[in-house]
Amino acid sequence: MKSIKIGLLAASLAVFIFACSNTGTTTNSTNKLTTAANLTNPAASNTITAPTKPADELADARKVYSEICSKCHKETGTGGESIVDGKKIKAPDFTSEKLKTDFDEADWIDVITNGEGSKMPAFGKKFSEVEIKNLIKLIRKDFQGI
């Protein structure tokens, strides 16, 4: 494993040295790599852009969870006793084995959409179906490792 890392490092270094020593390459003011031939012909520009990070598909769900769900279920998803709007509640622990195995997606959708009596309010009118499904993905991924 160590030799693979060293090999990759050496290969990366070699590519870097080769790229930097190429006299036909300059960097223009907008940090786009331009070949010497393209300096005289801008229409033939070969621009190399850095790869972008993939967007976090659950970013919106994380924001909703943090702003709304964490009041009862905590940032860690472990739930427990809290006081919300003057009421003492005991929110379930998302990390528990029971919620990992006994609750399927339909159960999650039902509880989030319709609430659960006096234990949890209904959020079906507040969140879209997609938002609810993304919250479930977030709970499964971040708190249950599924």
Backbone phi, then psi, for 91, in 5-degree steps? Answer: -80, 145
Cβ proximity of 65 and 135 under 8 Å: yes
pLDDT digits (tens, 9 = 90+) for 73-106: 999 999 999 888 888 889 999 999 999 999 999 9
pLDDT digits (tens, 9 = 90+) for 15-36: 445 555 555 444 444 444 444 4
Cα–Cα distance measured from residue 139 to residue 78, given in angstroms and rounded to the nearest whole number:
11
Domains, the chain: 2-44 (no CATH), 59-143 (1.10.760.10)
- Which pLDDT does position 83 carry in this prediction? 86
Question: Residue 77, Cβ neighbours under 10 Å: how many?
Answer: 21
For residue 141, pLDDT beyond 90: yes
Closest Cα to residue 94, out of 70, 110, 114? 70
